[in-house]
């Protein structure tokens, strides 16, 4: 799970997925509450999220884009 949450590309992809789909849900409920269509893009894009997550999680290669750079090392002598 650390591999998945440590990948900045997946985090950005998931944040966009959540934000856009919340917006689509709001638009759907405010404009046509009797016709629920928001779940179609939610489902379709969700397949891409699952595929992206699986690719990151099961990849044997090191992450190409780590979440944050390693801190600089401190000199050992005083």
pLDDT in tens, 33-72: 999 999 999 999 999 999 999 998 888 666 555 556 667 7
Kindly report each contact of residues 32-37 with a partner whose C-beta sits within 8 Å and lies 24 or more positions away, as own/partner.
none
With bands split at pLDDT 50, 70 and 90, how would you rate the model's confidence at 3? Answer: confident
The β-bridge partners of 66 are 7
How much is the pTM? Answer: 0.72
Span 6-21, average pLDDT: 93
Structure tokens at 1: 């799970």
The pLDDT of residue 59 is 83
Give the C-alpha separation, 35 to 54, whole Å: 33
Phi and psi, residue 9, nearest 5°: -65, -40
């Amino acid at each position: 799970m650390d591999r998945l949450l440590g990948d900045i590309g997946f985090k950005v992809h998931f944040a966009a997925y959540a934000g856009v789909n919340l917006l689509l849900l709001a638009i759907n409920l405010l404009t046509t509450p009797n016709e629920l269509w928001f779940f179609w893009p939610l489902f379709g894009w969700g397949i891409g999220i699952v595929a992206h997550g699986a690719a990151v999680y099961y990849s044997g290669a090191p992450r190409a884009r780590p979440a944050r750079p390693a801190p600089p090392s401190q000199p050992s002598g005083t």
